[in-house]
Amino acid sequence: MAKYRIMTFDGGGTLGALSLQLLNRLAEENPALISRTHVFAGNSIGSFTALALASGRSPKETLQYFEDEILPAFSTSRPGGPVFNQQLPYSGFIKAVRNFFPPGLRLKDVRKRIVVPSFKLYSPALDRWTPVLFHNFPGSPYLNEKVSDVILRSSGAPATQRAYQNYVDGYVVATNPSTASIAFAVGKANVPLDQIAALSIGTGEAPTRLRRDTRGWGMVSADNIRPENLKNLPPNWGVLLDRSPNEPLLPFLQMISGGNGYYESMVSANLLGDRFFRLDPRIPNFSKTDPSVVPAVIEIANKTNLQPVNTFIEKNWNDSH
């Protein structure tokens, strides 16, 4: 029986609706799920969910706010994005995140432990860019950071949104923060590995694939092509305009964001064995920036069979240690 419990949430923009609805169903069927979780971790939109729960907001309240206030920030796209321009205006998202949390709420005030990946574009101390794992474990240098700032630093996805305070989206470090959370439990909370359980909730496993011949591919930028010549642009790692529905628009970026999510699950499962559960239903290749996909995403969440994960929770979350 696990004595230390971790719950993590992937990034995924508008697809965060999937993990939130799955969470709501799980919380209804397991009333002690949130209160008996020791660590909440999340990347990008998952950091919003993780910090909402860690600071005492309910899954239902968090989903409602996500639908009413967060999603409208994704509703306007700029022409040319994400290939040539920042795709999404960011001011609405910043305002929505800030309005959900008390303005003075800092990581030291959050009642549960949290882990949030981000990437700092320049660290004066290191004289280079660097991954950052925001957390509130004892001795953390981030205890005075505002909760809203931490979420926004984890959510500035390159090519779709601008950087925030010189930080970009944590997906360049870990789309799925489960392994980092396990490491903090062992290294900072001094919990033996065999006493840890982790529930990792994704934003949908899309059937993205690249089966074509990639020999000779390079990268492309707005500096060496003109928009009027896009129809003649050959396939490349930067942007794939001539693609099937399940091929990536931005192969390089999507390999980073998708590939490390699978990697983290593999490592976490090897560390914890049957005390790790990955809940990530298969979905169509939905856009992460289009709010119109949310009703379909919610329907998938409602139709997902939760019996296996409920059995996992009953086994590992039933002791209030």
Residue 64 in contact with residue 132, Cβ under 8 Å?
A: no
Active site residue 44: yes
Determine the Cα–Cα distance for residues 181 and 176; give it in Å rounded to an integer: 10
H or E stretch at 148:
helix 147-153
Among the options 118, 140, 155, 169, which is catalytic?
169
In the chain, count of helices (H) and strands (E)? 9, 7
Beta-strand relationship, 128-135 and 113-123: antiparallel
Beta-strand relationship, 196-201 and 276-279: parallel
Among the options 19, 44, 155, 181, which is catalytic?
44
DSSP result, 84-124:
TS--S--HHHHHHHHHHS-TT-BGGG-SSEEEEEEEEEEET
Determine the Cα–Cα distance for residues 278 and 275; give it in Å rounded to an integer: 10
Beta strands in the chain (DSSP E): 4-9, 39-42, 113-123, 128-135, 167-168, 196-201, 276-279
Biggest alpha carbon distance in the chain? 63
Which backbone phi and psi does 304 adopt, to 5 degrees? -70, 130
SS3 130: strand
Q: At what angle do helices 294-303 and 16-29 cross, to 10 degrees?
A: 30
Active site residue 148: no
Q: Which residue has the tokens 């390079």?
A: 218
For the annotated catalytic residues, the residue numbers are 44, 169
